[in-house]
């Protein structure tokens, strides 16, 4: 029986949270914070890791390989959901998410002691990628277990409030990783941090792991699962029941397209893309950008619990759909306002010095490169990649077939070159010359090399970032409770984990590369926002029309 059709029951009378319930929430949330902390460390230190483990190739290729290894962790999350979801529905919630945290913590610690490429050669990047795959698998199993475990302990009428604490963990994990990295950098200095200090945040994870495991060992199995197991009603084939039977598969697809896909892009836009936009597009220095993001997270994080609690009263669906709607309506003005307050010189240059790329459309690629292996070396692609990465807005003008692309910058024209078929050394030489010429021209027309710290209105930037985080809390705060309530106990862990991790690992994980490709294709630095807006609108429509409210569903069915 699926819970979307189960009878509604009245809310239980309000009562204080018991000590056992507090322990369950604390243990589940703390462990998940540490898992996200481990996962984010790699992304934050990708440039340093590239130099340490991929130094056998040139610097650009090394960074690409490092990003590929980071992406691998996201790509395998759905497979972790399948593996550990099945295990959780067969043997129990407690032991499964105890295993996931052990795998995550040990993998992260090993990264901290792993010899570099200079020491052990090709074995270093191979081991690193294997560790990243293990981290992704573990994270794929962790979230579903923690959310299911807490929800199955929560009294009816308080599942949104209780599970919302789990929802704070991704943000707190990111926040903790940023604080530790900034702290270690400050103590040891930049030079020492790049040489060996970067290992310290990874090594500290073993202490976090010890605390998490000790606390989780004190917990008991979920009462709902324990009762079902005693009655002999556990699933013998969770994967088959979840995905091979249309009644439940339909719910899985609705959970993916009508809930988690939109939730994921709003979440990634508010936390990851906002940081990417500040550092890569607006050229705000990394330390300042991280501090601004951390402040926005700190102010906005309590709203996870506020919206989770509110969802117990008015429902999960209205809050999630409202978050998707508001995000779709406000992203363009909010990100334009961030430009205005973070880098006003760039805003002025964009208005006063329009650029036109003149090229044969057949030579211009859609530069979507999720795994970092494709090469875009045509004259058009090289021009557009450079302009997009330097935050130069441009329009496109079609040229006759075979024309070598050029850029009109004010009264000047910069000619590109055809890079297809060139040897790597020649491509680099010509590419460096083109970049030098383009850099000289855009600087002479007022495009800044970086944001001027004195001109950054930090208060307004934090206000805008906090608004983005609040949108994250609207879509993310109630989602755990809603996913748990959509599926029957016997296959709940498996069924809810897969759509969650496809939504977040793939729809969310592809956001930066997809958005950059859209910016490079259109010439507008804001048009990358069409990706999260499009996905959020899709979720809004499907969720509004087809997803049923779940707050009064029984978990015992």
**pLDDT, tens digit (0-9, with 9 covering 90-100), for 529-540:** 999 999 999 999
Confidence of residue 504 (pLDDT cuts 50, 70, 90): confident
pLDDT exceeds 60 at position 553: yes
Closest CA to 515 of 353, 280, 333: 280
For the chain, the average pLDDT equals 84
Question: Which of 444, 465, 481 is the C-terminal boundary of a domain?
Answer: 444
Residue 456 and residue 539 in one domain: yes
Residues 174 and 289 in one domain: no
Residues 80 and 208 in one domain: yes
Q: Is residue 406 located within the same domain as residue 296? A: no
Same domain for 171 and 310?
A: no
Contacts of 284 (CB under 8 A, 6+ apart): 278, 292, 342, 343, 450, 451, 456
DSSP type of residue 408: E
**Top mean-pLDDT range of 48-62, 90-104, 145-159, 293-307:** 293-307
Neighbouring CB atoms inside 10 A of 44's CB total 21
pLDDT digits (tens, 9 = 90+) for 453-497: 999 999 999 999 999 999 999 999 999 999 999 988 788 888 888
> Would residue 357 count as lying in a domain?
yes
pLDDT, mean of residues 88-105: 81
Residue 411: per-residue pLDDT: 82
Q: Is residue 14 part of a domain?
A: no
Name which of 161, 150, 139, 232 is nearest 12 in CA terms. 161
Expressed as residue numbers, the domain containing 248 is: 235-343+451-549
Distance CA 369, CA 91 (A): 40
Q: Are strands 394-398 and 412-415 parallel, antiparallel or unpaired?
A: unpaired
Residues 300 and 400 in one domain: no
| Overall number of domains in the chain | 3
Mean pLDDT of 445-460: 92
184 is a domain residue: yes
Give CA–CA dist 109/234, Å, rounded.
36
Encode pLDDT of 350-366 as tens digits: 888 888 999 989 888 87
The string of DSSP letters for 387-407 reads HHHTT--EEEEE--TTPPPEE
Q: Are 366 and 330 members of one domain?
A: no
d(CA 405, CA 384): 10
- What letter would DSSP give residue 359? E
pLDDT digit string (tens) for 185-204? 889 988 899 889 999 999 99
CATH for 25: 1.20.1250.20
Closest Cα partner for 261 from 539, 541, 543, 548? Answer: 539
Is 16 buried (19+), middle (13-18) or exposed (0-12) by CB count in 10 A? exposed
User: What is the number of helices (H) and of strands (E) in the chain?
Assistant: 26, 4
The model's pLDDT over 494-503, given as tens digits with 9 standing for 90+, comes to 888 889 888 8
484 close to 244: Cβ distance less than 8 angstroms: no
Boundary residue ending a domain (403, 429, 444): 444
What Rg value do the Cα atoms of the chain yield, rounded?
A: 24
Ranges 14-23, 177-186, 522-531, 548-557: which has the least confidence: 14-23
Tell me which range, 83-87, 296-300, 351-355, 517-521, is most confidently predicted by mean pLDDT: 296-300
Buried-exposed string 376-412: b where 16+ CB fall within 10 A, e elsewhere: bbbbbbbbbbbbbebbbbbebeebeeeebbbbbbeee
What average pLDDT does range 149-178 have in this prediction? 84
**Mean pLDDT across 12-24:** 65
**Taking 60 as the threshold, does the pLDDT of residue 94 lie above it?**
yes
Tell whether 286 and 366 lie within a shared domain. no
Asked if residue 32 and residue 163 are part of one domain, the reply reads: yes
Which has more confidence, 404 or 376? 404
Residue 495 within any structural domain of the chain: yes
């Amino acid at each position: 029986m699926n819970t979307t059709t189960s009878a509604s029951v009245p809310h239980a009378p309000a009562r204080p949270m018991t000590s056992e319930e507090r322990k369950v929430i604390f243990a589940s949330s703390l462990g998940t914070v540490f898992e996200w902390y481990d996962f984010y460390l790699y992304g934050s230190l990708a440039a340093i890791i590239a130099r340490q483990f991929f130094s056998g190739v040139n610097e650009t290729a090394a960074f690409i390989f490092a990003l590929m290894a980071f992406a691998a962790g996201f790509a395998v999350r759905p497979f972790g959901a399948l593996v550990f979801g099945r295990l959780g529905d067969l043997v129990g919630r407690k032991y499964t998410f105890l295993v996931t945290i052990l795998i995550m913590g040990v993998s992260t610690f090993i990264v901290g002691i792993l010899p570099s490429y200079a020491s052990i050669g090709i074995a270093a990047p191979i081991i690193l990628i294997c560790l990243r795959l293990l981290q992704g698998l573990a994270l794929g199993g962790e979230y579903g277990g923690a959310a299911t475990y807490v929800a199955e302990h929560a009294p009816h009428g308080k599942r949104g409030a209780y599970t919302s604490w789990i929802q704070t963990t991704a943000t707190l994990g990111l926040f903790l990783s940023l604080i530790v990295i900034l702290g270690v950098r400050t103590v040891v200095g930049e030079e020492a941090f790049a040489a060996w200090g970067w290992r310290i945040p990874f090594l500290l994870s073993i202490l976090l792991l010890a605390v998490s495991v000790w606390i989780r060992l004190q917990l008991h199995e979920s009462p709902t699962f324990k009762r079902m197991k005693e009655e002999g009603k556990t699933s013998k084939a969770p994967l088959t029941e979840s995905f091979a039977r249309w009644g439940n598969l339909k719910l899985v697809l609705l959970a993916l397209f009508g809930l988690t896909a939109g939730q994921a892009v709003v979440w990634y836009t508010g936390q990851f893309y906002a940081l990417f936009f500040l550092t890569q597009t607006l050229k705000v220095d990394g330390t300042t950008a991280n501090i601004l993001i951390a402040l926005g997270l700190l102010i906005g994080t309590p709203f996870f619990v506020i919206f989770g609690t509110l969802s117990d009263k008015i429902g999960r669906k209205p809050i999630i759909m409202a978050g998707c709607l508001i995000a779709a309506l406000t992203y363009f003005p909010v990100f334009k306002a961030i430009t205005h307050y973070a880098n006003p010189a760039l805003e002025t240059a964009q208005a006063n010095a329009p650029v036109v790329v003149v090229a044969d459309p057949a030579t211009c690629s859609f530069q979507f490169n999720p795994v970092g292996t494709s090469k875009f070396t045509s004259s058009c692609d090289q021009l557009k990649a450079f302009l997009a990465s330097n935050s130069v807005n441009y329009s496109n003008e079609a040229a006759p077939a075979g024309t070598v692309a050029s850029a009109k910058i004010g009264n000047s024209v910069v000619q590109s070159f055809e890079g297809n078929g060139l040897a790597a050394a020649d491509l680099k030489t010509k590419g460096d010359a083109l970049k030098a010429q383009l850099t000289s021209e855009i600087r002479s027309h007022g495009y800044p090399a970086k944001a001027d710290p004195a001109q950054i209105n930090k208060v307004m930037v934090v206000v805008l970032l906090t608004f983005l985080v609040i949108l994250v809390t609207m879509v993310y705060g109630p989602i755990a409770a809603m996913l748990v309530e959509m599926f029957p106990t016997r296959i709940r862990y498996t069924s809810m984990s897969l759509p969650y991790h496809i939504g977040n690992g793939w729809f969310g994980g592809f956001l930066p590369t997809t958005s950059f490709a859209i910016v490079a294709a259109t010439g507008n630095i804001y048009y990358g926002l069409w990706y999260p807006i499009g996905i959020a609108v899709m979720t809004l429509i499907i969720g509004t029309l087809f997803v049923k409210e779940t707050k009064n569903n029984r978990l015992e069915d």
